Amino acid sequence: MTNAELIQISIDSQRLSYSPYSKFKVGAALLTVDNIIYTGANIENAAYPVTICAERTAFIKAILDEQTKFVKIAITASSNEFCFPCGSCRQFMNEFTDEKFEIIVFDGKTINSIKLTKLLPHSFGKSNLL
Known active-site residue 55: yes
Q: DSSP letter for 48, please.
A: G
**For every residue of 3-34, which 3-state class applies, written as one string?**
HHHHHHHHHHHHHHCECCCCCCCEEEEEEECC
Catalytic option among 44, 55, 99, 102:
55
Q: Is 54 helix (H, G, I), strand (E, B) or coil?
A: helix
Name the pairing type of β-strands 70-77 and 111-115: unpaired
The answer to whether residues 93 and 125 touch, using CB atoms and an 8 Å cutoff, is: no
Q: Is 47 exposed, middle or buried (0-12, 13-18, 19+ CB in 10 A)?
A: exposed
Just list the catalytic residues. 55
